[in-house]
Amino acid sequence: MGNWNIIINGIGQHHNKRDPRDANRIAAEFVQKLKDAGHTVYFKSFTYGGADDIDGKAYLETQDELEK
């Protein structure tokens, strides 16, 4: 048990209409899995020329509404 940090940089698709292959959605799902497993997540962000606070389930629900 202790502190940890994960940093991932990549190139690929993001912010398409409800596409489960989008990196921003996958990142938010990963954050939610960490939280569901009992981890404390202090900072989470998806950057792409802008920046999204990828707060797991809340982010995915907001994206679903925006991408209707």
Show me where the domains of the chain are located: 23-66
DSSP string of 16-59? -TT-TT-HHHHHHHHHHHHHHTT-------EESSSEE---HHHH
pTM metric for this prediction: 0.80
Residue of 16, 8, 18 lying closest to 47 (CA atoms):
8
At 8-50, the pLDDT tens digits run 999 999 999 999 999 999 999 999 999 999 999 999 999 998 8
* pLDDT tier for residue 65 given thresholds of 50, 70 and 90: confident
